[in-house]
Structure 1
Amino acid sequence: MIAHITPTPRQRLIALSRASLPFLAGCAVALAARLYSQHAADLPTCEQLPWMRVMVTMMVAICTGGAWLSGRSAFRIWRSGQYPAPGTAVLFRTRVRTGRWAHANACAYFVLSILIAAFLVALLNLFLLSEAGLFVIGLRGCEP
């Protein structure tokens, strides 16, 4: 028997708001990058540090949220054995898939979560463990 999930208006609003999160995060990063290039790019390095900290913190928050949401979806799909997982808000009438299709989707979400986490580790390695990272987090002063 083929099952479908038919969304209510409230579920559609929830699904639409969740679908808009990546777009809003991209707009926030683009706005912060534009403000950085207009106001802080010409400043000395020590005066750029607050701007750099904002950019790094924003990217860490976005990557952490993306990895967490993707991993959460993977575990929910794997546990339930169906895609979309029970209780998931959908935008349109959606067919419920089970079996191998659901497990393949769970694996894809899990791989996406690992890739985002790997990018986060690389970002933190660049900004926290490097020589420049010591300036960004404030462990090294700007004096020569």
Structure 2
Amino acid sequence: MGGTAVGMALRRWLLGLSADKHDQPERDYLSGPPSLAWVRADVGPGVAAEALLVVARDGDSGLRLAAVEALGSAPARWWPVLDSALRQRWWSAPSWSRRLAAELAGAEIDLLSLIVAGCHRDGRIREAAVVQPTR
């Protein structure tokens, strides 16, 4: 895949972002993964935003699958609010933003990571998410 799906200029930018240029690596300010019952609970999109970031970053396969299934059954009116909430929450995950940029520049990416990348605060990461194949 390399530079075919993601344009070369965008790929270079993603790889540049993924390089940690700090003396001490930034940390993410997200809580630990929620329970499976919580992921399946009917919570609003604003509440779900941080949990989705955490599950996409740290969740096991069962938790990730439950999150994708919950998103698949969400009503259409829910998505713009989730998109806005996720864009705000990405500020609390600078380290994961860099790792996600590297994933988008390289190999295929899983569906849940692709979904949250599509709601990233940076338009270039959103652009890369749009052209990605999933596994």
Superposed pair shares fold, TM > 0.5: no
* TM superposition score category, shorter chain reference: under 0.3
Which structure has the greater CA radius of gyration?
Answer: 1
* TM-score for the superposition, normalised by structure 2: 0.22
Higher helix share: 1
As a proportion of its length, which structure holds more strand?
1
TM-score w.r.t. structure 1 length?
0.21
